[in-house]
Amino acid sequence: MLRRSAAVLLSVLLLSAGWLGLTGIPLLTAFVPLLWIAFSYDASRRSWWRVFGWALLVFTGWNAATVWWIWNATPVGPVAATLASTLLNMIAFMSFYTVLRGGRKPLAYTLFVAAWIATEYWYTVGEFSWPWLVLGNGFSHDVWAVQWYEYTGVFGGSLWVLLCNLALFEAWRARRSVRRWLLAACTVVLPMGVSLWIWQTEGAKLAGVRSPLTPRPEARVSVIQPDVDCYSKFDGDDARQERNIVDLLSQVPDDAQVILLPETAVPGYYAEPALEELPGSGVARAFWQELADTLRRRHPGALLVAGANTTRAYTAAGRTATARRSPYGGYYDIFNSAVGLDSAGRTQIHHKGRLVIGVENTPTWIFDVLRFLVIDLGGTLGQIGKGQTTQPFVSQGGPVGTAICYEGLYGDFYGGFVRRGARFMAIISNDGWWGDTPGYRHLFTISRLRAVEHRRAIARAANTGISGFISPRGDIGATLGWEERGVLTAQVPLESRITFYTRYGDYIGRIAQYLMLLCLLYYVAYRVKKKNHLVE
């Protein structure tokens, strides 16, 4: 009992490190203690339930240790996230253990890998998703080791973690087998070696950006961090927030081509397409006009990207599934939007397409009943409208993709901006909801993985948290930290290449689903044959 308890604790610690500001390399051994527990039991039904209990402790502990910070926004948040994520972890692991008890070990190992990645993929593409604990995300502090994400995405990282754990566990079981230890060492070291080679190659490319002999295109980008308290941001103090933004705009260099404000930076609600005042809102378009005038005076060629809440009206016949009934007649959607504004007052709008579970992605009638349980992360609560496209904004600095906060967790969706021509990426966010915890820091470092996957530089503007710049190699440039107010400006390299992952997306996740199904069908057939004495 004591040894198994220690193994559970060790697995939790090794699994959690990458999400708590430490290296993700311990993930390569994190499942070994749990596998030891699984192999320490016999094939009886009682043993199945004992392994179930130990595995449940491991995955509950891992989830709780890495999402506890959601408690700062709502007590129910970490509970809901832990239950949903742990359920998928248990489906994958107990499927593996069931086949291990009644089938062959190679089949069980194959199912373990396929089922784990498949369930991660389901959590990414499902209507209600929280892909925080995809194993590949654990290497956000170790981009030097996973430069090959440009070919595989984060699911390639999950595959690497699982294969390393199985190889190291088998080597540990056969301690005197030189062949198994060599195989395990190669599984760990070879991907790192390939990554270091790509790392050096990408470093040489970035050095060429600033070479006077072979100049490459760049954009002059400024990011603004207003540092407004998230919990008072939506309480009606709009005038103060507007003056704060105008004051910070005065600090932006005159030659800036793209200027970023964070998610929901502009207070109020605005009707599309002209961003007019909403009836009864008390908010006018005057501030948008002031922003355009400021651009015309100081930055005539710049594009200002700002987060805002926008609405779109529909007739009864044309309403969407997420539309609400308007008190003034008809229907409307509320969108969490990124608005691109130029000096002539012209606008481009991107609607957030990946919505926060329980906050922005909650059917209205459910929200009305369960409002007290909702995680307050963005000012607009209940079921909001969902964006359907990832069209980049046009700017003099080049086409820029504008992901909004949570969208940065979805590699394939994020790549839609790049497939449509984005030459660099902007991420606008509102990170202060969770306080000064590992939550906002890991959300920033996950952006490094997006940079590697798609080889696009990133400029990130947060309300507070971390604003700054990330290179196409995943290197962190200048940043503003927690509760810092200010402006950062940098030359951002423009890229036009399309990586293998950008082109094909989460193909590893899609393949894993089919492989999982084949393994389960094979196991059923094997059990039937064994029952009929057709196999030993």
- Residue 490's pLDDT is 96
Contacts with 225 (C-beta within 8 Å, 6 or more apart), sequence order: 262, 461, 462, 463, 464, 467, 480, 484, 485, 486, 487, 488
**Bridge partners (DSSP) listed for residue 222:** 259, 489
The pLDDT, as a whole number, for residue 378 is 40
Cis upstream peptide for 273 (omega within 30°) = yes
Residues of the chain with pLDDT under 50: 282, 364-381
Residue 282 lies in a domain: yes
CB-based contact 446:138 (threshold 8 Å): no
Which token pair is 243? 């003056």
191 shares a domain with 258: no
Q: How far apart are CA 27 and CA 30, in angstroms?
A: 5
3-state SS class at 374: coil
Q: Is the Cβ–Cβ distance between 112 and 417 less than 8 Å?
A: no
**Residues 12-70: pLDDT tens digits?**
999 999 999 899 999 999 999 999 999 999 888 899 999 999 999 999 999 989 987 77
**Is residue 156 assigned to a domain?**
yes
**Does residue 382 sit in the same domain as residue 335?**
yes
Q: What pLDDT was estimated at residue 99?
A: 93
pLDDT tens-digit profile of 239-258? 888 899 999 999 999 999 99
User: Is residue 304 situated within a structural domain?
Assistant: yes
* Rg value, the chain, Cα: 25
Other beta carbons within 10 angstroms of residue 317's beta carbon come to: 6
Residue 339, phi then psi, degrees to nearest 5: -110, 125
Q: What are phi and psi of 218, to 5 degrees?
A: -140, 160
What are the structure tokens assigned to 254, written together?
């005159």
Strand partners, 402: 426
Count of Cβ atoms closer than 10 Å to residue 256 Cβ: 24
Do 226 and 188 sit in the same domain of this protein?
Answer: no
Same domain, 297 and 308: yes
Is residue 213 situated within a structural domain? no
Q: Is residue 536 part of a domain?
A: no
Tell me the backbone φ, ψ of residue 460, rounded to 5 degrees: -125, 125
Same domain, 139 and 59: yes
Read off the CATH number of the domain in which 434 is found.
Answer: 3.60.110.10
Q: Do 279 and 183 belong to one domain?
A: no
**Residue 94 falls inside a structural domain:** yes
Residue 402: its H or E element: strand 400-404
Does some domain include residue 465?
A: yes
Same domain membership, residue 297 and residue 411: yes
In tens, the pLDDT along 458-499 reads 999 999 889 999 999 999 999 999 989 999 999 999 999 999
Q: Which ranges in 210-327 belong to alpha helices (H)?
A: 238-249, 286-298
Whole-number Å distance between alpha carbons of 462 and 444: 10
Q: What are phi and psi for residue 53, nearest 5 degrees? A: -65, -45
Q: Are residues 433 and 474 in the same domain?
A: yes
Distance CA 182, CA 346 (A): 61
| pLDDT for the residue numbered 375 | 45
Q: Establish if 212 belongs to a structural domain.
A: no
Q: Specify the length of the chain in residues.
A: 536
Other CB atoms within 10 Å distance of the CB of residue 133: 24
Burial of 427 (0-12, 13-18, 19+ CB in 10 A): buried
Q: Which of 150, 138, 160 is nearest to 442 (CA)?
A: 138
Q: Tell me: do 305 and 450 sit in the same domain.
A: yes
- The answer on 127 and 9 residing in a single domain is yes
Q: What is the pLDDT of residue 329?
A: 79
Cβ neighbours of residue 235 closer than 8 Å, sequence gap 6 or more: none
**Sequence-distant (≥ 6) Cβ neighbours of residue 516 within 8 angstroms:** 95, 111, 114, 115, 118
Number of domains in the chain: 2
Residues β-bridged to residue 77 = none
| 117, 155 Cβ separation under 8 angstroms | yes
Instruction: Please give the DSSP secondary-structure letter assigned to residue 394.
Output: P
| Calpha distance 459→446 (Å, rounded) | 13
Residues 201 and 270 in one domain: no
Residue among 128, 119, 51, 55 nearest 517 (CA): 119
**Same domain, yes or no, for 232 and 376?**
yes
| Domain of residue 154, residue span | 2-207+506-531
pTM of the full predicted structure? 0.91
At residue 504, the pLDDT reads 96
**Share above pLDDT 70 across residues of the chain, in percent, rounded to a whole number:** 88
In the 8-state DSSP scheme, what is residue 174? T
